[in-house]
Amino acid sequence: MILKRKIIIFIFGIFGIFFVVKSQALTTSAFLKLDRAPNIEDEEPLSIFPHLIHQRMFACFRCHPSIFSYGRDTYTHKDFDSGKYCGECHNGSVAWHIDDVECETCHLE
């Protein structure tokens, strides 16, 4: 009997941990203020990334961890031009090209 109860508590514990980890991953903000790459000084406001909109369009694994780690990567327009990070999709084929929209589409005060 005791063993059975321990097993049940163990199983609920595992589910509990899974639930907390999973919900934390999903409840990050709808918009993320991205970090500026080191050694770059520019007046341009930081890019705001609409995370939730992308989460609704794609599976997490489309971006994590191959394109973006779950942490805080830094990248510049040079990376986009060579098809990396946001440039993997915003290249005019998967989605609109970065150069075809207003700067304010991503850089908002």
Give every CB contact of residue 54 below 8 A, 6+ residues apart in sequence. Answer: 63
> In degrees to the nearest 10, what's the CA dihedral of 52, 53, 56, 60?
-60
Q: Least separation, in Å, of the C-beta of 14 and ligand HEC?
A: 19
Helices (H) and strands (E) in the chain, counts: 4, 2
Q: How far is the CB of 6 from ligand HEC (least distance, A)?
A: 32
Q: What is the DSSP letter of 47?
A: B
73 near ligand HEC (CB under 6 A): yes
CA dist., res. 46 & res. 27, Å (int): 22
Residues touching ligand HEC, count (CB under 6 A): 48
Answer yes or no whether residue 91 interacts with ligand HEC by CB under 6 A: no
Cα–Cα dist 76/50, whole Å: 18
Residue 52, interface with ligand HEC (CB under 6 A)? no
Rule CB under 6 A: which residues touch ligand HEC? 25-26, 28, 32, 34, 36-37, 40, 42, 44, 46-47, 49-51, 53-55, 57-58, 60, 62-64, 67-73, 75-77, 85-86, 88-90, 94-96, 98, 101, 103, 105-107
